[in-house]
Structure 1
Amino acid sequence: MNYKFLLFTILSFTISFAQNTDNNLTLWSPTNKLTVNDFGIKLSHKNEVPSYGQYSIDYNLRGFDFLTKNFNKKVRNYLIKSASWIDTTSGVANSLKYQQTVFDISEIYARHFRKELKDNRRKILKGFQFAQELSEKSTTDFANRKLLYNKETNFGTIQNKQLEWEIQIQKELEEYKDYSYE
């Protein structure tokens, strides 16, 4: 058997699979805002909720990652396209603004997570359980903050409250700019 061919085939499949998985994700970016194309499911009828975004913060630590000075590339914040939907028949701009605000809130907690990993990297020496606990805390804090945002802005529809949230979110993103993925 030609082992070089087998190795090439396995590597090609692995790279192809990884790329297909990443095509299902939209990483948070300060310059690229969400568009209709970031939502894998397009609806064309009125729904009670005009859009839904499935956001996730994940991390990838292994080996001697605790020695790194910067955990920014180890923690990702993204929208899962195939689990997110938008009604394309009305209110698209409002839906996108709402979803972008939620995505920005998620980025705040991704940055908190990155900072905590950096500040507590010695605890990772004892095992990655600490990182898992930080991940769970970030996810819970994000969910609670999203609920508060939804309540105070009625899902982004109270304009003056929406503006207040946008200003506060930008302040926090700026405060934690050193922990941006990019």
Structure 2
Amino acid sequence: MRFLFLLLTLSLFSFSSENDKEKMQWDENRKLTWADFQGRPQAGNDFVASTNSGISFSYSFRIENGKLDLDYSIQSNFYPKLSWYKRGNVSDYILEHEQTHFDISELFARKLRKKMVETGFSSNPKKEIDAIYQKNEQERRAFQNRYDAETDHSKNPEAEYKWRELVKTQLDFYERWK
């Protein structure tokens, strides 16, 4: 019995460490490096780098004595194997552009946490929670697309620096929900 427990425990740790290689959580004390970009550049793509980031969101709830007990987890993640760059065509400036994409995902993770805290849910919150997540995700994607459009994928330095400051200011504003 102890052996089975130990084997199960070791299996969980090995699965967990393998899973950790698939994604990297946003951390204000750790910026992306080119070594984090482990994917292969897409053939025929004009871009020199691509960041794949997003929000993982899970929740569970139960009703106990007529009261809603809601538990959830919201994380901003970078996906190394889906993110890539073209060697010899990138710079620190481009890396900052890619970091800003990851920062935008963190910004919207914070906005989602805030919405979850502030919403008074019914006793059957599934549809409400799903709607909040879907709206937040639509807004995140639109914000990412607007960032690329207005900066011309980092080719417009003036717009790039304005966006970096905007995202930093917004992250500071939503710091309470990190």
**TM-score w.r.t. length of structure 2:** 0.86
Structure having the larger proportion of residues in strand: 2
Name which of 4, 11, 15 aligns with 1:6.
4
Amino acid at match of 2:158: N
**Which residue is equivalent to 1:88?**
87
Counterpart for residue 99 of structure 2: 100
- Give yes or no for contact 2:38–2:84 (8 Å, CA) kept in 1: yes
**Could you tell me which amino acid in structure 2 is paired with residue 58 of structure 1?**
S
Q: Give the Å deviation of 1:124.
A: 6.4
Separation of aligned partners in 1, 2:103 and 2:46: 23
Q: What percent of counterpart residues are identical?
A: 20
Unaligned runs of 5+ in 1: none
Offset, 1:63: 4.1
1:102-144 deviation digits (Å, cap 9, x = unpaired):
1111111111100001111x41642333222222222211110
Deviation of the 1:78 alpha carbon: 0.8
User: Whole-Å Cα distance in 2 between the matches of residues 11 and 24 of structure 1?
Assistant: 20
2-structure distance, mates of 1:178, 1:134: 19
- Asked if structure 2 preserves the Cα contact closer than 8 Å seen for 1:86 and 1:95, the reply is no
Compare 109-118 and 124-133 and name the one that shifted more.
124-133
Q: Moved runs in structure 1, 4+ residues, more than 6 A?
A: none
Report the counterpart of residue 28 of structure 2 in structure 1.
30
5+ residue gaps, structure 2, are 63-67
The higher relative CO (CA closer than 8 Å, separation ≥ 6) is in 1
Cα deviation 1:2-30 (Å, max 9, x = unaligned): x2211211121112101211122121122
Task: Tell me which moved more, 46-55 or 96-105.
Answer: 46-55
Residues 47 and 87 of structure 1 are in contact (CA less than 8 Å); yes or no, is this contact kept in structure 2?
Answer: no
